[in-house]
Amino acid sequence: MHKIELTTQINAPIERCFLLSLSVDVHCQSTKGTNEKAIAGVTSGLMKLNDTVTWRAKHFGIYQNLTSKITQYEYPNCFVDEMMKGAFKRMYHQHLFQQNGEGTIMKDVFEFEAPFGILGKVFSKLVLVNYMRHFLEIRNSTIKKVAEGEEWEKLLGILPK
């Protein structure tokens, strides 16, 4: 099992950061490099407890599908998504939020295990850990940019007032 922990300081309210992290649309903005699209389950808007989404993306030159489910949801402090079906043997992603003055500390704890036994372990150590860290950093950078800018106001149709 591999664990990646990231911390991102965002100059925006905790509620906004939490909801933007649950936005399928914001996630799609962050994954343009892998041509990721939501193809089943919740395909736009905000996810909530027990929602699923199936993502289709190109990683390592191969199109792959991954279905995840929101298995824990505690507004506005944390939520967890877990892989139900996909390329990993196991994937568990905690999204934690803490108010920090007028801003928010967003923390990711991403745990995964690759399939294929020892070959999967070697590939994870040599390639996949850094690949997934970079993938999450881009996602967090997009959430930060949207939350701190005026672009988030375009999402008012999906955000509760």
pLDDT exceeds 50 at position 160? no
pLDDT of residue 48: 97
Lowest mean pLDDT among 93-97, 123-127, 138-142: 123-127
Selected residue with higher pLDDT from 51 and 121: 51
Q: What is the pLDDT of residue 59?
A: 84
**pLDDT at residue 157, rounded to an integer:** 55
- In angstroms, the Cα distances linking 54 to 6, 57, 65, 71 are 24, 10, 7, 15
For residue 45, pLDDT over 70 is answered with: yes
Question: What is the C-alpha to C-alpha distance for residues 70 and 66, in angstroms, rounded to an integer?
Answer: 13
